[in-house]
Amino acid sequence: MEILYCPCLFNLSDKKLGHMHMPMCVQINKTLVVNPGAICGNRKQEATCAILTLPDLVFQLYSVETGLVVNINP
């Protein structure tokens, strides 16, 4: 599987993403698209960072302020 870090605009398999600083981890075909969010936060999200564990492809998002795990699924 290919891993793609996505901080900016691109079009992959008709999925359009932008420079949004929103944490995400999605699989599109055989590509894992990851974005840890923004280290300094933004108006809608807290400051986050992430760890991608290989080769298991486990994406874990953390709050920069608290160090606690952040759930990116609503």
Using left for φ > 0, alpha for ψ between -120 and 50, and beta otherwise, residue 65 falls in alpha
How many CB atoms lie under 10 A from the CB of residue 68? 8
Burial class (CB in 10 A: 0-12, 13-18, 19+), 41: middle
pLDDT digits (tens, 9 = 90+) for 14-64: 555 666 778 888 887 887 888 888 888 766 778 999 999 989 989 999 999
Backbone angles phi and psi of 16, in degrees to 5: -100, 130
pTM (two decimals)? 0.72
